[in-house]
Amino acid sequence: MKKLLMGASALILVAACSGQLPGNTDAAGADSPATMDDAAAFVEKAEADFLDMNEYASHVFWVQANFITHDTSWLAARVGAEATEMGVEYANGTKQFKDLPLEGDLARKMKMIAQGLTLPAPSKDGAAKELAKITTSLDSMYSSGTIDIDGEKVALDDLEVMMGTERNPEFLKEIWEKWRMASAPQMHDKYARMVEIANEGARELGFKDVGELWLSGYDMPPADMAKEVDRLWGQVAPLYDQLHCYTRAKLNENYGDDVQPETGPIRADILGNMWAQTWGNLYEFAKPEGASIDYDLTDLLVKAEYTPRKMVEVGEGFYSSLGLEPLPDTFWERSLITKPKDRTVVCHASAWDIDSADDIRIKMCTKVNAEDFGTVHHELGHNYYQRAYKGQSPIFQSGAHDGFHEAIGDFIALSITPQYLVQIGLLDESQIPDESKDIGLLMERALDKVSFLPFGLLMDKWRWKVFSGEVTPENYNTAWWELRKQYQGIVPPGARPDNAFDPGGKYHIPGNTPYLRYFLSFIMQFQFQKAACEQAGWTGPLHRCSIYGNKEVGARFNAMMEMGQSQPWPDALEAFTGTRQMDGSAIVEYFAPLMEYLKEENKDRTCGW
Ligand code: X8Z
Ligand code: ZN
C-alpha cells in the first residue's frame, strides 16, 4: 500500500492541501519569527490533514489495486499527486522552525514531516502530477504483465509457482526471460525520468538525493545507517557463502555441468524462485542425507483441504493464541484473499490500514502452498501492528522503523514448527521429526531465510547508486547484474538484450517500495525469536521453539507494537528484546548447527564465485 509518509503505514500519502499551513505569517501577512506555539499548531494541522488525506487516498488506491483500469489509474494518479503536493508543502513548511529549540514529541514529529515522503516531487507546478502519473503507470504495467506460454497468456502469480516446481532448465529459462521482457523494458525511460523528478524533490528538501532521504528514516545519520547495514551483512555473509556453495553443488549434481557448473556463480533461473530471492523450493535437491524431514507443508495443506480463507483463519488463530483481539468483521468482508477471475488486480501481497482505526485488510492472490501460508502470517503481522499502534497520534502510527513492520509476521511464522503443525491438526504426533532431523528442518528454513539476505540488501544498493547518479540510465541493467553477482553470486541464464531493464521485473522497483526494510527484517525476526523463546523459558534448539499460545510473550510483544514510531527504534527493540542494536548474531546462532554441517559438506569444494 502506498503511504504519504514513508514508514508510516498509514500516514502520508495523499493530500490536496486544504487551507493555509500555520506558520510564520502573522495576521497582517508580515513575516515574523516562528514561535514554539506556531510549531505546535503546524504539526497539529499536519497530522489532521495527513490523516484525512490518507483515508481518502487509501480508498482510491484500494479500488485501483483491486480493479486496474484506465480510469482507476487516472484517479490514483490524481490523488497521488495531491498527496505528494501536500506532503511536500508540509515538508518545506518545517524549514521555518529549524532554529527553534524543539524537543520531545514535537521535535520528532517535525523531523518525520520533513523526511517522511518516499518520493518527493519538487514544489514547482506540475511536478507532483508528472511524478504520480509515472509511478501509477509503472505500478500497473507491472501488475498487468503477462507472457505467452504455448499460446496461453500467463500472469505472474502462476509463473511464480512454475518457477518453483518446473525442473526443465530450458523451460525455466524461457519463463524467466519472457517475464523480464513482458513489461520491464518499457519501464526504463519512465523510471529514469522518475528518478530525476524525485531527486529534484529530495534536493529541495535538503537531501543529497532520494537514497539519502530513504536512509534518513532510522534515527541516525544516513551515512551511519549505510555502515550499519554493511556491518550486519558482514555478520551473515559467511553463512550465505556456505549455503551458496552447498546449493550450487546440489544443482550441479542434479542438472550437470552444462546447466550448472561446479564453480562460479549460480544460474538465476534454477533457484526455484522468479528472482532467486528465496530457495525453499529447492529442498528436494538440498535435503541433507539421512536427516531429511519426510513431510511437505504444501502437501499437508492440500491434503487437509485448506482454502485460502482457511489459511488466513488459521493465521488469525495464531495471533489470537497470543492474546490479541480477533480481526474485525470488516476485515473478512473487505479483504481480497483470492485472485478474481474477471479483472486485473495488483497480486503482490499487501496489508492495508484504510482509516487509521479498525478498517484493516489484506490483499493477496493466495495459493494453497507453504510459501503463501508464510505470506499470510506476514501480512497479518502488518495488520496487527497497525491495530496495536492506532492509539498513537497520527504521525507516530507506524513501525518503529520499516524493518520492524516487515519482521512482525515473519517472526510469528518462525513458530510454524512441527509441534505447532500437530497443534493445528495438520500433522500427526507420530510424524514429528526427531532430533536426528534437525539439520533437515534447519536446511528448509535456511533456504528461505539465509538465501534472501543478499537479495534484501542489493535491491537498495542498486537504487542508492541510481539515485546518487553513480549508475546512469544506460547502465541500469549492467549495474543490476554486477550487484546480483557480487552479493548473491548469481548470473542470468544467457546474455541480456540491450533493452533489458531487469530490476523492473521485481515488484518493489516499479512499485517504489524501499527494500532495505526486508533485509533488516530478516535479521531482526531472529532477534525477536531468540528473545521470545527466552521469555517463554524455552531451553531447546531455537528452531523448535513455537510461542503459539503464549499470552505473556504476546503481551510483551504487543507492548512493543503499541509504541509505534513514537520513540527511537532502539527503545522499541529494547522493550521486547532487551537490546538496543540490530544484530546478526541471532540468525547466526539459530543456524549454527547447519553452518557446521555445511562446512563439513563443503570441505572439499571450492566455495565462492
Ligand atoms: O513484498 C513482500 C511482502 C509484502 S510487504 C509480501 N515481501 C518481500 C518480497 O516479496 O519481495 C516479503 C518478503 C520480501
Ligand atoms: Zn510486508
Which ligand 1 atom is at minimum distance from the Cα of 406?
5
DSSP3 helix / strand / coil % (the chain, rounded to 5): 60, 5, 35
CA of 377 to the centre of ligand 2 (A): 10
Q: Which of 387, 390, 355 is nearest to 54 (CA)?
A: 355
**Exposed (0-12), middle (13-18) or buried (19+): which is 299, by Cβ within 10 Å?**
exposed
CA of 350 to the centre of ligand 1 (A): 8
Residue 16 has pLDDT above 70, yes or no: no
pLDDT digits (tens, 9 = 90+) for 56-114: 999 999 999 999 999 999 999 999 999 999 999 999 999 999 999 999 999 999 999 99
**Exposed (0-12), middle (13-18) or buried (19+): which is 29, by Cβ within 10 Å?**
exposed
The mean pLDDT value for 150-174 works out to 98
- Gap between the Cα atoms of 113 and 94, Å rounded: 7
Quick one: which ligand is closest to 406's CA?
A: 2
Taking the CA atoms of residue 159, residue 162, residue 163 and residue 165 in that order, the dihedral angle to the nearest 10 degrees is 160
The mean pLDDT value for 147-152 works out to 97
Task: Check if the beta carbon of residue 582 is closer than 8 Å to that of residue 232.
Answer: yes
Identify which of 406, 412, 488, 516 to mutate to test ligand 1's pocket (most ligand atoms within 8 A of the CB): 406
**Helices H / strands E in the chain, number of each:** 24, 6
- Closest Cα to atom 8, ligand 1: which residue? 518
The mean pLDDT value for 471-485 works out to 98
Quick one: which ligand is closest to 522's CA?
A: 1
Q: What sign does the dihedral 550-553-557-560 (CA atoms) show?
A: positive
**Exposed (0-12), middle (13-18) or buried (19+): which is 193, by Cβ within 10 Å?**
middle
Of the CA atoms within 13 Å of residue 23, those in its CB half-sphere come to 19
Task: Check if the beta carbon of residue 386 is closer than 8 Å to that of residue 276.
Answer: no
Which ligand 1 atom is at minimum distance from the Cα of 349?
6
Q: Is the CB of 451 under 6 A from ligand 1?
A: no
CA of 31 to the centre of ligand 1 (A): 48
Quick one: which ligand is closest to 513's CA?
A: 1
- Gap between the Cα atoms of 556 and 568, Å rounded: 18
- Closest Cα to atom 7, ligand 1: which residue? 518
CA of 508 to the centre of ligand 2 (A): 11
- Gap between the Cα atoms of 415 and 395, Å rounded: 32
- Gap between the Cα atoms of 402 and 415, Å rounded: 22
Identify which of 160, 163, 375 to mutate to test ligand 1's pocket (most ligand atoms within 8 A of the CB): 375
Q: Is the CB of 349 under 6 A from ligand 1?
A: yes
- Closest Cα to atom 14, ligand 1: which residue? 518
Q: Is the CB of 417 under 6 A from ligand 1?
A: no
Lowest mean pLDDT, pick from 12-16, 77-81, 323-327: 12-16
- Closest Cα to atom 5, ligand 1: which residue? 350
Q: Is the CB of 511 under 6 A from ligand 1?
A: no
Q: Which residues contact 142 (CB under 8 A, 6 or more apart)?
A: 183, 187, 504, 507, 510, 511
Give the residue numbers marked as catalytic: 348-349, 378-379, 382, 406, 508, 518
CA of 403 to the centre of ligand 2 (A): 9
Beta bridge partners of 336: 363
Residue 329 has pLDDT above 60, yes or no: yes
- Gap between the Cα atoms of 435 and 344, Å rounded: 47
Residue 23 has pLDDT above 70, yes or no: no
Residues in the chain: 609
CA of 520 to the centre of ligand 1 (A): 13
Residue 371 has pLDDT above 70, yes or no: yes
Place 4 in a pLDDT band, splitting at 50, 70 and 90. Answer: low
Q: Three-class SS string for 86-118?
A: HHHHHHHHHHHHCCCCCCHHHHHHHHHHHHCCC
Residue 27 has pLDDT above 70, yes or no: no
**Exposed (0-12), middle (13-18) or buried (19+): which is 256, by Cβ within 10 Å?**
exposed
- Gap between the Cα atoms of 271 and 14, Å rounded: 39
Residue 8 has pLDDT above 50, yes or no: no
Q: Which of 13, 468, 3, 461 is nearest to 199 (CA)?
A: 468
Quick one: which ligand is closest to 404's CA?
A: 2
Which ligand 1 atom is at minimum distance from the Cα of 277?
11
CA of 162 to the centre of ligand 1 (A): 19
Q: Quote the DSSP letter at residue 35.
A: -
Place 121 in a pLDDT band, splitting at 50, 70 and 90. Answer: very high
Longest CA–CA span in the chain (Å) reads 83
The mean pLDDT value for 151-156 works out to 97
- Gap between the Cα atoms of 46 and 111, Å rounded: 12
For residue 483, CA distances in Å to 73, 102, 458, 478, 515 come to 33, 42, 6, 9, 15
- Gap between the Cα atoms of 231 and 227, Å rounded: 6
Quick one: which ligand is closest to 365's CA?
A: 1
- Gap between the Cα atoms of 228 and 467, Å rounded: 20
> pLDDT higher for 3 or 359?
359
Q: Is the CB of 375 under 6 A from ligand 1?
A: yes
- Gap between the Cα atoms of 587 and 578, Å rounded: 17
- Gap between the Cα atoms of 310 and 426, Å rounded: 12
Q: Which of 467, 455, 439 is nearest to 544 (CA)?
A: 439
**Exposed (0-12), middle (13-18) or buried (19+): which is 470, by Cβ within 10 Å?**
exposed
pLDDT digits (tens, 9 = 90+) for 404-442: 999 999 999 999 999 999 999 999 999 999 999 999 999
Q: Give the count of beta carbons closer than 10 Å to the beta carbon of residue 340.
A: 11
The mean pLDDT value for 601-609 works out to 98
**pLDDT number for residue 1:** 58
Q: Is the CB of 518 under 6 A from ligand 1?
A: yes
Which ligand 1 atom is at minimum distance from the Cα of 348?
6
Instruction: Report the alpha-carbon angle 397-313-139, nearest 5.
Output: 55
- Gap between the Cα atoms of 462 and 415, Å rounded: 33
Q: Which of 551, 518, 509 is nearest to 405 (CA)?
A: 518
Phi/psi at 362 (nearest 5 deg)? -115, 160
- Report which secondary-structure segment, H or E, holds 520: helix 516-535
- Gap between the Cα atoms of 325 and 405, Å rounded: 19
Q: Quote the DSSP letter at residue 159.
A: H
Q: Give the count of beta carbons closer than 10 Å to the beta carbon of residue 580.
A: 13
> pLDDT higher for 28 or 403?
403
Which ligand 1 atom is at minimum distance from the Cα of 507?
11
Direct distance between the N- and C-terminal alpha carbons of the chain, in angstroms, rounded to an integer: 37
Q: Which of 502, 404, 597 is nearest to 184 (CA)?
A: 502
Place 47 in a pLDDT band, splitting at 50, 70 and 90. Answer: very high
Q: What is the pTM of this model?
A: 0.96
CA of 582 to the centre of ligand 2 (A): 19
- For 178-226, the DSSP string reads HHHHHSHHHHHHHHHHHHHHHHHHHHHTT-SSHHHHHHTSSSS-HHHHH
